[in-house]
Amino acid sequence: MSFLFRFSFLFRFTLSRPWVVQSVPYGKRPKSLPTVLGQEEVNRLIGCVDHLKHRAVLLTLYSAGLRLTEATNLKAQHIDSQRMQIKIVKGKGNRDRFVPLSPRLLHVLREY
């Protein structure tokens, strides 16, 4: 049950008074920027992963900026090494898009 519904019920049925409040304005929450890792921190994080498959997934997520569902739906035919692009099929908003493919990621994917 929502907060407003409870107060509305309290006023109308328990106190037998009219509920005159149409809506309660909420204060805006301050938006903060996400914490971004430095290049050395990212290299150490990826370097800690020994399993090639896990390293390929982690590097794909990071270097292409993919969401987890986008990475799990990725297929080999979506990788265009000639144009150095990855096609993301049905990403956020059910839209297709292209993201750049880094040479390091291409090397790791070919190794995998």
**How high is the mean pLDDT in each 10-residue block of the chain (112 residues)?**
67 74 72 89 91 93 91 92 93 90 93 91
Sketch the domain layout of the chain as residue ranges: 40-111
Say what the alpha-carbon torsion angle 98, 45, 54, 95 is, to the nearest 10 degrees: -20
Instruction: Read off the tokens for 96.
Output: 């297709």
- Whether 104 and 112 have beta carbons less than 8 Å apart is answered as no
Provide the pLDDT for residue 88. 93
The model scores a pTM over 0.85: no
The CATH number assigned to the domain with range 40-111 reads: 1.10.443.10
Provide the pLDDT for residue 78. 94
Instruction: Read off the tokens for 55.
Output: 């390293």
